[in-house]
Structure 1
Amino acid sequence: MSTKRWILCAFVFISCVLASSHRPLDENQLFVQDVLQSDGKDYCKPYGQIRDTCCDYQSVESIQSDTFSKIQALVQSKFFKYYKLNLWRECPFWNDDGLCMNRDCSVATTDESLLPEEWRQDALGALQMSPKGSAFQPFKVCTYKDQDFCVADDPSDQDVVYVNLLDNPERFTGYTGPSAGKVWQAIYEENCFNIVHKMSEGCPTCSAISPVPSNSPPLGPLLQDLAGPTGDDGDDEVCLEKRVYYRLISGLHSSISIHICDEYFDRTTGQWGPNLDCFVNRIGAHPERLQNIYFTYAVVLRAVTKLDDYLAQYPFQTGDVAEDEKTKILIHDLISSTKDCPATFDEKTMFQGADSRSLYVEFRDHFRNVSRIMDCVGCEKCRLWGKLQTTGLGTALKVLFAYEDKSLSYRSNPRLLNHNEVVALFNTFNRLSESLEAIQKFRKMYADRLAPPPQQRQLAQTVGDWLKWLLDGARTMAHKLIKLGQLPVPSFLDDPLEPLDPL
Structure 2
Amino acid sequence: MWSRTLVSVFLGLVLLGTSRGQWYGSKSTIKDKSARDRCLCQLKGAVDDCSCSVETIDSFNNLRIYPRLNSLLQKNFFRYWKVNLKTICPFWEDDGKCAVRYCTVQPCKDVPEGIKGTVIRNGIDKSQTLKKKSHMNTKDCDDENDLGYLNTTLSKESIDGFERWAAHDSVQDSFCYLDDELSADSEYVDLLLNPERYTGYAGPSAHRIWRSIYQENCFKPTGNRGPYPDFSNIGDMCLEKRAFYRAISGLHTSINIHLSARYLLSDKEGFTESKEGLWGYNVEEFQQRFDPELTGGEGPQRLKNLYFLYLLELRALAKAAPYLESLEFYTGDEDDDADVRKAVRDFLTVVKSFPEHFQEGTMFTGGQQAGKLKDEFREHFRNISRIMDCVGCEKCKLWGKLQVTGLGTALKILFSGNFDQPVDQQLDLSAVRLTKFQLSRGEIVSLFNAFGRLSSSILVLEDFRQMT
Instruction: Give the match for residue 23 of structure 1.
Output: none
Post-superposition offset of 1:250: 0.3
Instruction: Give the match for residue 402 of structure 1.
Output: 416
The one-letter code of the counterpart of 2:312 is: V
In the alignment, the residues of structure 1 paired with residue 370 and residue 101 of structure 2 have an alpha-carbon distance, to the nearest angstrom, of: 47
44 and 110 in structure 1: CA distance in 2 versus 1, 3 angstrom threshold: farther
Instruction: Give the match for residue 440 of structure 2.
Output: 418
Tell me whether 1:235 sits opposite 2:245 in the alignment.
Answer: no
401 and 121 in structure 1: CA distance in 2 versus 1, 3 angstrom threshold: closer
Instruction: Give the match for residue 301 of structure 1.
Output: 314
Most deviating of 299-308 and 370-379:
299-308
Instruction: Give the match for residue 300 of structure 2.
Output: 287
Contact 1:143 1:152 (8 Å CA) reproduced: no
Q: Deviations over 1:110-138 (max 9, x none)?
A: 11x5322452465878448994799xx97
432 and 196 in structure 1: CA distance in 2 versus 1, 3 angstrom threshold: farther
1:387 is matched with which residue: 395, 398, 401? 401
Instruction: Give the match for residue 331 of structure 1.
Output: 344
2:49 is matched with which residue: 46, 49, 52? 52
Instruction: Give the match for residue 157 of structure 1.
Output: 183
In the alignment, the residues of structure 2 paired with residue 197 and residue 434 of structure 1 have an alpha-carbon distance, to the nearest angstrom, of: 37
Q: Deviations over 1:258-317 (max 9, x none)?
A: 110000001377520010011111124310111100111111111111122111111211
In the alignment, the residues of structure 2 paired with residue 317 and residue 46 of structure 1 have an alpha-carbon distance, to the nearest angstrom, of: 41
Tell me whether 1:271 sits opposite 2:278 in the alignment.
Answer: yes
Aligned length: 383
Contact 2:222 2:237 (8 Å CA) reproduced: no
Greater RCO, 1 or 2 (C-alpha within 8 Å, sep 6+): 2
The one-letter code of the counterpart of 1:393 is: L
SS of alignment partner, residue 397 of structure 1: helix
In the alignment, the residues of structure 2 paired with residue 256 and residue 368 of structure 1 have an alpha-carbon distance, to the nearest angstrom, of: 19
Contact 1:229 1:289 (8 Å CA) reproduced: no
In the alignment, the residues of structure 2 paired with residue 229 and residue 105 of structure 1 have an alpha-carbon distance, to the nearest angstrom, of: 33
35 and 169 in structure 1: CA distance in 2 versus 1, 3 angstrom threshold: closer
In the alignment, the residues of structure 2 paired with residue 430 and residue 255 of structure 1 have an alpha-carbon distance, to the nearest angstrom, of: 11
In the alignment, the residues of structure 2 paired with residue 197 and residue 416 of structure 1 have an alpha-carbon distance, to the nearest angstrom, of: 41
Instruction: Give the match for residue 249 of structure 1.
Output: 248
The one-letter code of the counterpart of 1:405 is: D
SS of alignment partner, residue 406 of structure 1: coil
Which structure 2 residues correspond to residues 99-498 of structure 1 after superposition, within 5 A? 99-100=97-98, 102-111=100-109, 114-120=111-117, 126-127=126-127, 131=156, 144-195=170-221, 230-231=231-232, 234-267=233-266, 270-285=277-292, 286-354=299-367, 355-403=369-417, 404-406=419-421, 411=429, 413-414=432-433, 415-446=437-468
Q: Deviations over 1:353-395 (max 9, x none)?
A: 3510110000011000111100000001000000000000111
Output the TM-score relative to the length of structure 1. Answer: 0.70
Post-superposition offset of 1:194: 3.1
In the alignment, the residues of structure 1 paired with residue 239 and residue 245 of structure 2 have an alpha-carbon distance, to the nearest angstrom, of: 10
In the alignment, the residues of structure 2 paired with residue 290 and residue 159 of structure 1 have an alpha-carbon distance, to the nearest angstrom, of: 36
The one-letter code of the counterpart of 2:210 is: W
Contact 1:229 1:250 (8 Å CA) reproduced: no
Instruction: Give the match for residue 222 of structure 1.
Output: none
Post-superposition offset of 1:320: 1.3
The one-letter code of the counterpart of 1:168 is: N
37 and 384 in structure 1: CA distance in 2 versus 1, 3 angstrom threshold: closer
157 and 126 in structure 1: CA distance in 2 versus 1, 3 angstrom threshold: same
241 and 312 in structure 1: CA distance in 2 versus 1, 3 angstrom threshold: same
RMSD, matched Cα:
3.2
In the alignment, the residues of structure 1 paired with residue 69 and residue 225 of structure 2 have an alpha-carbon distance, to the nearest angstrom, of: 33
SS of alignment partner, residue 405 of structure 1: coil
406 and 263 in structure 1: CA distance in 2 versus 1, 3 angstrom threshold: same
Gaps of 5+ in 1: 1-28, 201-226, 447-503
Contact 2:221 2:230 (8 Å CA) reproduced: no
SS of alignment partner, residue 317 of structure 1: coil
In the alignment, the residues of structure 1 paired with residue 194 and residue 45 of structure 2 have an alpha-carbon distance, to the nearest angstrom, of: 37
Tell me whether 1:36 sits opposite 2:62 in the alignment.
Answer: no
Larger radius of gyration: 1
Contact 2:114 2:330 (8 Å CA) reproduced: no
Post-superposition offset of 1:337: 1.6
Contact 2:120 2:181 (8 Å CA) reproduced: no
In the alignment, the residues of structure 1 paired with residue 353 and residue 408 of structure 2 have an alpha-carbon distance, to the nearest angstrom, of: 25
Q: Deviations over 1:57-110 (max 9, x none)?
A: 111112102111100001101100000110101111111122437421100101
Output the TM-score relative to the length of structure 2. Answer: 0.75
In the alignment, the residues of structure 2 paired with residue 241 and residue 376 of structure 1 have an alpha-carbon distance, to the nearest angstrom, of: 27
